[in-house]
Amino acid sequence: MSRRRSNQSERSRIFAALLAIFFGGFGAHKFYLRDPGAGILYIFIFFIASRIAFPISFILGWIDAFRLLTMGDEAFDRKYNKHLSRDPRSYVEPNRPRRRRPGVKERRRSRPSPRAIQKANPFKKSGLRKYKEFDLEGAIEDFEQGLEINPSDIALHFNLACAYSLTEQKDKSFKHLSQAVDLGYNDFKKIQEHDDLAFLRIQPEFDDFKDNGYRLGRKNISAPAQGEETEESPQQEVKDDVLLSQLNKLAELRKKGLLTEEEFNMERKKLLRR
């Protein structure tokens, strides 16, 4: 890789190694590498070692030569050629304030999209986790807090409808299911087949709710109109009666103390999910 050298004071690794081999005992390579203090020390060692006829300074020079020869060019430059100019390709210009061009308007930051709001809604994720763990009260609390952040979240309204249905709070379940449909939810087959909405479907006012397009407000769903009869298939009536009788038996067992509150809730959820 080619590099730019700043001036004639650049030091050569090979030349420094040769100086260390032949004149290392006098510290010539140290003076060459801009380390005069070490060079003077080598000269001092040379005169001391000459009295005992042992070339200590030359041995040190040969060691330095070996170290220089095995050293990479980049490591040598970082240590001995710090004054060199930077490679223009690796130079990163510091951040500078941008100047506004005349006649050019700055773009305004767009508001976050509904999807971005949903991704940033922490209560939605925590509510789903609690819902899957059958912590319905905790899930309802998180879903409600999630609606405070984004009141138009269709999934939150539908999940609340399911959670309120499992906890047998039909009015709130109808309310949030209606709001989900008003906001654009249109998977009506899922409303008819979803296990978690089974309690809602066995309510007498569900048929009017269904006829009203799964919405509240246009018709009174609290009671059927006078003179109207709800038509249900015999099979559906038997199924609903069996479910209600099983739920009543569970309630009686809980009152008698034969079932704990936790066991009651688990068995009730199993029945409603069938």
Q: Is the pLDDT of residue 234 over 50?
A: yes
Q: Is the pLDDT of residue 28 over 50?
A: yes
DSSP 19-83: HHHHHGGGTHHHHHTT-HHHHHHHHHHHHHHHHTT--HHHHHHHHHHHHHHHS-HHHHHHHH-TT
Per-residue confidence (pLDDT) for residue 240, from 0 to 100: 66
Strand residue runs (E) in 40-191: none
Which phi and psi (to 5°) does residue 9 adopt? Answer: -85, 10
Summarize pLDDT for 135-188 with one digit per residue, the tens. 889 999 998 998 988 899 999 899 999 999 999 898 999 999 999 999 999 999
C-alpha dihedral sign at 219, 224, 225, 229: positive
Residue 133: DSSP 8-state: T
Per-residue confidence (pLDDT) for residue 178, from 0 to 100: 93
Q: What is the mean pLDDT of residues 72-83?
A: 84
Confidence of residue 258 (pLDDT cuts 50, 70, 90): confident
User: What's the pTM?
Assistant: 0.42
